[in-house]
Chain A
Amino acid sequence: MTVKTLKDLEEMAKIGEENLDPDRPQIIFGFATCGIAAGAEGVVGFTKKYLEEKDIDAELGAMGEPEIKSVGCIGMCHAEPLVDIKMPDKPRITYYGVDETKMKRILDEHLINGQPVKEYALGQLNKELSVCDQAKTEFSWQFEDIPALNEIPFLSKQVRVALRNCGIIDPESIMEYVARGGYKSAFNLLNNMTPQEVIDEVKESGLRGRGGAGFPTGLKWQFAKDAEGDQKYVICNADEGDPGAYMDRAVLEGDPHSLIEGMMIGGYAIGANTGYIYIRAEYPLAIKRLEKAIEDAKEYGILGENIMGSGFSFELKMMEGAGAFVCGEETALMGSIEGKRGEPRTRPPFPANSGLFGKPTNINNVETWANLPMIFEKGADWFSGMGTETSKGTKVFSLVGNINRAGLVEIPMGTKMKDIIYEIGGGMQHDRDFKAVQTGGPSGGCIPPEELDVEVDYENLKELGSIVGSGGMVAMDEDTCMVEIARYFLDFCVDESCGKCTPCRVGTRRMLEILDRIVLGEADMRDIDILEHLAVQVRDGSLCALGGTSPNPVLTTLKYFRDEYEQHIKKRFCPASSCASLFISPCQNSCPAGTNVPGQMQLIIEERFGEAYEIQREDNPFPGVCGRVCDHPCEEICQRDQLDRAVSVMAQHRFCADKVYHDEVEYRPETSTLDTTGKRVGIVGGGVAGLTAAYFLKRLGHDVTLYEAKSELGGMLRWGIPKYRLPRDVLDWEIQQILDLGVDAKLNTSVGKDVPFDDLLEEQDAIFLGVGAQNDRALNLEKEDEPGILKGVELLEKINRGEEIELGDRILIVGGGNVAVDMARNAKRMGCEKIIIAYRREEIDMPAYPEEIEEAKKEGIEFHFLLSPEEILIEDGRAAGMVFTKTVMGDFTKWGRRKPEPVDYEKVVFKADNIITAIGQVIDTSFAEDLADKLTNEWGTRLKVDPYTMETEQPNVFAGGDAVLGPATVIEAVAHGKKAAKEIDARLMGHDRLEELQSINEYEYSMTAPDNEHYIPRSELQSIPVEERSCNFKEVIMCMDRECAVKEAKRCLRCDISEEDEA
C-alpha cells in the first residue's frame, strides 16, 4: 500500500487504533534497553510459559487469546520492569517493578478475573492514552483507587512532546504511530506549505537545538536553505555519548517514526533529498527499530520518491558510529560519515554552507527532530507558550544519581531545579542531604544547593557555569566528593580528546595530573591556582566544543566547592570519605577524631578488649562516653550499610570501655607519653574539648593547667546529658584517667574573675579556650522573662545537679535539638503529664539524634513540626501557652537545608504551664572582655578561629568545641581538642609530634580480609522496658554481651585492608 491521500493515512490510523484498543486482552511490556536490563525478558518468558500451562484460551473464553506486545521506555527507570495490562473496554493499567511472583498474581487476578492488583499498580491510562499532555485526564471508564498515570508524582509535572509516544505505542508499528496523529503534519505541510513557510513556523515556535548549544533551529535551517548548492543534506546526530544521558536512545527505541517525520520536514524546508542518521553502534536495539521504521516508511510511500503524492522525494541512510565521543561534534561527525578520521575542523565555514561532502548541510539532534511533528500538529503558538523568555518548549533530562525516582523527565523550560529533584525525582535516596547536581555531562558543571531555585533554561544554567547540554542531570548527595567528580569527568575528556589541538590534548592531561595529585593527597596549594589557570586557557584556546567545555566541571567545582579542594590539600582530608588514599577506612575518615574503627573491630574479634579500648584512646580519651552518646557518623558511612546494615560501631566502643571499667581484661597497654618539654599550656574550661586538649598536651610532655569555673569537670557531658543516657560513674572514671596523667585541674576557678586572663597570657606559652556555649539563645519575643518560661540548658544543669525543680503538668518545649529532646525525656521522668515539642522545620531536619527521638516518642512525648513561635501567652502573670505560626519549607540555603518560611494566616496555639526554650546556645565572653573583639565572630555569638590551625586572632591563643562550633556533638568537641593540641604542640616544638606519640604503642592484629559479604543481621542494642523508666534515671540502653560483641565485630568488612596488605 502506498499513501497518496489523507484518506489513506486515516485508514492506517484506524488499524493502529484497533491495535491500541483491541477487543482482546493485551499484555504490554516496557521493552527498551532499560526494561531489558531490569529483567523484562525473564518476565516475558515466564508469562508465555504460564499462559501456556494455564490453557488461557479456555479461561478467557470469548475474549480471545491475549496478545503480548512490547513498547518503548516511558522513562520511569526506577520502576522497571513495567508491564501494562489492557482488557477490552477497560483502562490500561501500568504495573511497576514486576517480577515473576508479581506477574503471576497480576495474570491471575487481572487478566483472568478482571480485577487489577492495586498494590502493584502505578496508574491507569484512559482511552486517549494521554500522558503528560497538559490536558486533565478524563476517564470514560476507570478503576477506583488507582490514580491516572498523569497524576502520579513522577509524571504530574511533566509535559511530553518529544517523548509523547515513548512507552505508549509499539515502536515497530507504523500504524500505531499514525493512529497517534503521526505523519499527518508532514502530509499537510508537504502538500500545503512552502519551504519558507515551514521555516517561518519553526522560527516562530522558538525551538532551539536540543543537542546542547541551543542554537535557534529555524535560523539554522534558514542558513542551509539560503546556501547555494544543488545537493543538500540533513543529518540527525544520534551519537549520544555523555555519561548518564540516554534521552535520545529512548526516542530511537520508543518512537523512531517521529524522528523520521521530523527529518522529512527538515529536508523539505531546506531542500535536501537525503538524510543521514549517525547513530552509536552501542545502541543495537535502537538501530534495529530504526531500520524497521525506515523499511516500513518506505513500504507505505512515506519515504522515497514523490512522498504522499506531494512531489517531494526524500531518502534516509543510517551510519553507525564507532563510539568516539568527539564524533558528537558536528564537523567531526560529518568527517566520520565521509570516511575520514573523526576530528573536528574549524568553523567557519559552517556546515550550512559547506558541510557533508562540502555540500550545504543541516544537522540537528534526535530530540530536536522529534519535537518538530508536534510543532506542526499543534502550532508554533502552542509550543512557544511553554518555557521561558528565551527558551521555549520542553526539554528531556535524564535524571540520575543518588535520587529516589531516576528516569527520563520532560519538563517545560523554566521549571525550577528543586522541583525536578524533589517533586519529580522524589528527593535524595536514604534521606541524605543534597550536595550538587551535575548537568550537561562532561561539558557541564555542578550546581550547588544554594542555586537549587534556578529556573532551568539555557541562559540560567550558563550563568551558573554549567550548560543544559544534551540533558544529563546527575544528582549527588553528601557522600559525593566533588574533587573526585571533577576528576571523573575530566578523565573522560582526556580519554575522548581526539588529540588534534594542543590545549585539549595536553592541557586536559596536565589538569588531570593535578587532580590525581589532589585526590592522592600529594598536591600543594599552588596546584589549585595552576589548575584554575590551565582550565581557563584550555577553555579559551581549544579548537572545538569538546575541549572548550571540558574544564567546566573543574571550574564549577572550584567555584562552588573550593573549600573541599583545600581540605584535600591542607588537611589531606576527604569530607565525603571517597578518596581512598587519604584514609584507612570510611568510618575512620568520617569520625571527626579519626578513631581506628576497623582496628578496634579486629581486636574485639581477637578478644583483646584492653587493646581495643586503648587503640581508641589513642585518638579519643572518652570511648566509654562516646559509646553512649556519640552521633556515630561512622555508622552513616559504613560500607556494610550498602550490603545489609551498618556495623554497630558505637555499641562496640561502649562494650570495650565497660570491659575495662569492670576490670575484665587481661592486658591493657599503658597510655603512651613523650618526655617532658617544660612548656606550659593553660586550658580554660573543663568540658570535652578542654579535657581532650589537656589529655593530648599532657601526653605530648607539656605542663597543663586546666581552669574550670564549676565544681566538677565534664562540661555539657555532666550538665547537659541526662543520667539515664550517660551514667556519671563512667564519666568520672574517664575524666580521672586524664587527671591521672598529671593534669593540674583548678576547680571553682573562674578565669576573668578569680584569675585575670592577662595573667594567663603572661604565664602560659599557649592557651586553649574550651569555654563552651552555655547561654541559652533568646527567642526574641516579648515577655520572655515572665515566670514559667525556662531556659533549656540552665534547667538541664539544675536537674543534673540534683536540684529540686517544680514543673507543671503541661510542658511546652520549643526547639529541635538534643537539649529539647533531653529536656522532654527528663520532664517525663519528673512526672509531667503532657509534654509537647514544637519545632520550626520537619522531623527529618531535627538536629537531635534519631534514636533519641524514637525513644522519646515511645515514652509518649508529642512532636509538632513546622511551627514558628510568635507570641507568648500570659495569664495571671505567668506563662500559659504560646501562639505559633505555621511554616512551610521554602528555598534552599547554602548548606542544602531548606529555610522554614512562616505562613501568616495559619496559627496554632498550645496551652502549657511551663515553656522551655531550647533553640540554641551562645558563648559567654566575660572571661576576657577586653579581647572579645579579637576572639569572637562579628555577632559575638562564637569564638572565631582559623579552621586549619584552630588559632584565634590573638597569637598563641587557640580555641575549640562548642565555643567555636555552637552546640556540637561530643565527638566534634573531642576532635577540636585533639586538633588544637596537635597545633599547639607544633607551634611550641617547631614540628608536628602527634604521629610520633601515636606510634609508640604498636597494635598488631590480623590484616586478612574476612569472608563476610553475605547477610548477617545487625545485633541490636537492648533497652530497658518503658515502664521501668518513669520516675528514675536508670541507664536506658544496655551493654552488649561478649558473644554478641564479637559476632557484631565480625560483620566489619575491613575496608582498611588494601590489596597490598593482602599480598
Chain B
Amino acid sequence: MKITIDGKEFSCKPGQKVYDVAEENDIYIPTLCLNKLNHEERPAGCRICLVELVGQGNAEPKLESSCSLPVHDGMEISTKNKVVYDERREVLELLLSEHEQDCRNCGISGDCYFADLCFEYDIDGVSVCSECPNRKDGCFLARDILCLGPVTHAGCNAFCTRNGDPCESCFGVLSNKDVLVFGLEAFGENGFTRDQVLEAAKVFSYEEVRVLEELMDEYDLLNKEVSE
C-alpha cells in the first residue's frame, strides 16, 4: 500500500495512521496530545497534528488529525501548506489564550515544547524567558542585571543569554499586553525602577515605549522608588 505525503510516495501497512507513516519517514508533524508512552490511544483532541487530506475526484480537501487518520491506498496528504499552517497556528493561539504565559516563573521554561511550537508558528505572546537556557545560573534579574527577556518577543533561541549576556531585545517588545504586564511586574519584584527600565527600553521604538509607559500607569507598576 502506498500513500503520498507532500508529493513523495511512501509505502505503508493497512491500519497504520498517517502520523506514524510520516514519523517513520522523518516528516515532522507537531502534536501535543499524543501520548508517547501509550501509543495506541489517539484522542485526536489537540488538533495540532492537522494535515490536509487532498480530495480525490470531486471531493473537497479536508483537514484531518493525522494521528487518528488511517491510511488507504493512493491517499494524498499535505502537511505543509497555508491552510494547514493557519489552522495549526490558530489552535496554538487558542491554547495560548488560556495559558498563564508567565514563562519566567514556569518550571518547564527553557525546555517547553509548547513554547517552541509558538516560536515555530510565529505567535507573539511568549517571552524570551521561556527559551533562556541559562536557568542553572539563575535569572539575570535576580542577579541585579537588567535583562529585557520578560518583555521581549521570543524566537531568537536566546543565543546571547546562553553566553552569559542579558537579553537586549533584538526581537522587539511583545505585543500581547497581558504578558507584558507579567514582565513589567518581574522588573518591579527585582527592585528595578521605572527610569531604569525606560532607559533600557530605548532600544524599542517610540510607540513601543509608549505602550510600556501606559501599562505601568494603568497597573501602577514600578512607580514607587525602591529604597536600597
A-to-B contact residues, CB < 8 Å: 345-346, 348-349, 500-503, 506-507, 510, 533-534, 537, 540-543
Given A502-B91, A506-B98, A540-B63, residue A349 in contact with residue B45 (CB < 8 A): no
Q: Which residues of chain B have C-beta atoms less than 8 A from A503's C-beta? A: 47, 90-91, 94
Residues in B69-122 with C-beta less than 8 Å from chain A: 69-70, 83, 86-87, 90-91, 94-95, 97-98
CB distance from A685 to the nearest CB of B (A): 46
Residue of A at shortest CB range from B90?
A: A537
- For residue B65, CB closer than 8 A to chain A, the reply is yes
Contacts of B91 in A (CB 8 A): 502-503, 537, 541
Ranked 9 nearest A-B pairs via Cβ: A346-B68, A506-B94, A537-B90, A500-B45, A346-B44, A501-B45, A541-B87, A502-B91, A502-B47
Residue of A nearest to B94 (CB): A506
Please give, as numbers and ranges, the residues of chain A lying within 8 Å of B29 by CB-CB distance. none
Q: Using Cβ atoms and an 8 Å threshold, which residues of chain B touch A541?
A: 47, 50, 63, 87, 90-91
**Interface residue B46 (Cβ < 8 Å from any Cβ of A):** yes
1/0 contact string of B35-50 vs chain A (CB within 8 Å): 0000000111111101
Q: How far is the CA of A898 from the CA of B83 in the complex (A)?
A: 42
B47's contact among A501, A510, A533, by CB below 8 Å, is which?
Answer: A501
Cβ-defined contact, A543 with B63, below 8 A: no
Q: A537-B87, A541-B90 are in contact. List 4 more A-B contacts (CB 8 A).
A: A346-B42, A501-B45, A502-B95, A537-B90
Q: How long is the Cα–Cα vector from A349 to B15 in the complex, in angstroms?
A: 10
A537 touches B97 (CB 8 A): no
**Contact (Cβ within 8 A) B86 A537:** yes
Contacts of A537 in B (CB 8 A): 86-87, 90-91
Chain A residues within 8 Å of B63, by CB? 540-541
Task: Decide: A543 near B94, CB < 8 A? Known: A346-B69, A348-B70, A537-B86.
Answer: no
| A345 cross-chain contacts in B, Cβ below 8 A | 43-44, 68
Contact assessment for A540 and B44 in the assembled complex, using a CB-CB cutoff below 8 Å: no
CB distance from B228 to the nearest CB of A (A): 43
- Nearest-neighbour CB distance to chain A for B50, whole angstroms, equals 6
Name B90's contact: one of A348, A500, A534 (CB within 8 Å).
A534
Q: Which B residues are CB-close (under 8 A) to A507?
A: 90, 94
CA–CA, A540 and B50, complex, Å:
10
Give the dominant DSSP class at B's interface: mixed
- Bound form: Cα–Cα A533–B69 in Å: 26
Task: Tell me how far the C-beta of B68 lies from the nearest C-beta in chain A, rounded to whole angstroms.
Answer: 4
Distance of A500 Cα from B46 Cα, bound (Å) = 8
- CB contacts (< 8 Å) of B98 on chain A: these are 506
Closest B residue to A543 by beta carbon equals B44
Taking a contact as CB atoms closer than 8 A, the residue among B69, B83, B94 that contacts A510 in the complex is B94
Most buried by A among B46, B47, B83, B97: B47
Supposing A346-B68, A501-B47 touch, asked if A506 and B42 sit within 8 A by C-beta, the answer is no
B42 touches A543 (CB 8 A): no
Within 8 A of A (CB), among B20-64: 42-48, 50, 63-64
**In the complex, A345→B69 CA distance in Å?**
11
Interface size class of B (residues with CB under 8 A): 20 to 34
**A542 contact set on B, CB distance < 8 A:** 47
- B202 to chain A minimum Cβ distance, whole angstroms, is 30
Which A residues are CB-close (under 8 A) to B44?
345-346, 501, 543
In the assembly, what is the distance between CA of A543 and CA of B98, in Å?
A: 19
CA distance A506 to B98 in the complex (A): 8
B94 cross-chain contacts in A, Cβ below 8 A: 502-503, 506-507, 510
- The answer on a CB contact under 8 Å between A501 and B70 is no
CB nearest neighbor in B for A500: B45
Residues of A within 8 A of B69 (CB): 346, 348
- Cα distance A1001–B64 when bound, in Å? 63
Contacts of A500 in B (CB 8 A): 43, 45
In the complex formed, the residue of A with least CB distance to B87 is A541
Would you mind naming 22 contact pairs between A and B with Cβ atoms under 8 Å apart?
A: A345-B43, A346-B44, A346-B64, A346-B65, A348-B70, A500-B43, A500-B45, A501-B44, A501-B45, A501-B46, A502-B95, A503-B91, A503-B94, A507-B90, A510-B97, A533-B90, A537-B90, A540-B83, A540-B87, A541-B47, A541-B91, A543-B47
Q: Which residue in chain B gives the minimum CB-CB distance to A504? A: B47
User: What's the Cα separation between A546 and B211 when bound, in Å?
Assistant: 40
- Whether B86 contacts A502 by the Cβ 8 Å rule is no
B residues 203-218 near A (Cβ < 8 Å) are none
Across-interface contacts of B42 in A (CB, < 8 A) = 346
Cα–Cα, bound, A533→B89 (Å):
12
A533 proximity list for chain B (CB < 8 A): 90
Flag if B65 contacts A543 (CB, 8 Å).
Answer: yes
- Give a binary string over B136-179; 1 marks a CB under 8 Å from any A CB, 0 the rest: 00000000000000000000000000000000000000000000
CA separation between A510 and B95, bound complex, in Å? 11
Bound complex: CA A922 to CA B87 (Å)? 52
CB pair B50 A506 closer than 8 Å:
no
The residues of A that contact B97 with a CB separation of less than 8 Å are 506, 510
A349 and B86 CA atoms in complex are apart in Å by: 27
In the assembled complex, the Cα of A533 lies from the Cα of B94 at a distance in Å of: 12
User: In whole angstroms, what is the CA distance A543 to B67 when docked?
Assistant: 12
Kindly name the residue among A346, A348, A500, A501 whose own CB sees the greatest number of chain B CB atoms within 10 A.
A346
Residues of chain A contacted by B68 (CB below 8 angstroms): 345-346
Q: Which B residues are in CB contact (< 8 Å) with A543?
A: 44-45, 47, 65
Tell me, in angstroms, the Cα distance from A177 to B64 when the chains sit together: 46
Q: Report how far A172 CA is from B47 CA in the complex, Å.
A: 48
Q: How far is the CB of B20 from chain A (nearest CB, A)?
A: 15
What are the residues of chain B within 8 A of A506 when measuring CB–CB? 94-95, 97-98
**Please, which residue of chain A has its CB at the minimum distance from the CB of B32?**
A502
Q: What CA separation (Å) do A503 and B90 show in the bound complex?
A: 8
A349, B63: Cα distance in complex, Å: 16
Contacts of A348 in B (CB 8 A): 69-70
Across the interface, name the chain A residue whose C-beta is closest to B63: A540
How long is the Cα–Cα vector from A510 to B43 in the complex, in angstroms?
23
- On chain A, the residues within 8 Å of B65 by CB distance are 346, 543
CB of B60 to closest CB in A, whole Å: 11
Which residue in chain B gives the minimum CB-CB distance to A508?
A: B94
| A residues in contact with B64, CB < 8 Å | 346
- Complex: how many Å from CA A387 to CA B72? 36
- Measured CB to CB, the closest approach of chain A to B212, in angstroms, equals 22
Bound-complex Cα distance A534 to B69 (A): 24
Closest to A349 in B: B70
Closest to A347 in B: B68
Residue of A nearest to B43 (CB): A500
Complex Cα distance, B86 from A537, in Å, reads: 8
- Bound: A573/B42 CA distance, A: 48
Q: How far is the CA of A261 from the CA of B77 in the complex (A)?
A: 44
Bound-state Cα–Cα, A202 to B68, Å: 32
What residue in chain B is nearest A513 (Cβ atoms)?
B97
Q: How far is the CA of A533 from the CA of B87 in the complex (A)?
A: 10
What chain A residues lie within 8 Å of B86 (beta carbons)? 537
Q: For the complex, what is the distance from the CA of A503 to the CA of B88, rounded to whole Å? A: 10
Q: How far is the CA of A533 from the CA of B64 in the complex (A)?
A: 19
- Please give the distance in Å from B122's CB to the nearest CB on chain A: 16
Measured in the bound complex, the distance between the Cα atoms of B43 and A506 in whole Å is 17
Interchain nearest-CB distance for B83 vs A (Å): 8
With the chains together, A701 CA to B83 CA distance in Å? Answer: 57
CA distance A500 to B47 in the complex (A): 10
For the complex, give the distance between the alpha carbons of A57 and B90 in Å.
76
**Least CB distance, B57 to chain A, in whole angstroms:** 16
Determine the residue in chain A with the shortest Cβ distance to B42: A346
Q: How far is the CA of A395 from the CA of B132 in the complex (A)?
A: 62
In the bound complex, CA of A316 to CA of B37 (Å): 40
Q: In the docked arrangement, what's the CA distance between A506 and B96, Å?
A: 10
Q: Roughly how many angstroms separate A506 CA and B64 CA in the complex, as a whole number?
A: 19
Q: Tell me the smallest distance from the CB of B174 to a CB of chain A, in Å.
A: 19
Once bound together, how far apart are the Cα atoms of A345 and B45, in whole Å? Answer: 9
A506 CA to B45 CA, complexed, in Å: 12
Q: Contact at B50–A502, with CB atoms within 8 Å?
A: no
What residues of A have a CB within 8 angstroms of the CB of B50 in the complex? 541
B48 contacts across to A, CB distance below 8 A: 502
Per the bound structure, the CA–CA distance linking A168 and B39 in Å amounts to 56
Shortest Cβ gap from A163 to chain B (Å): 35
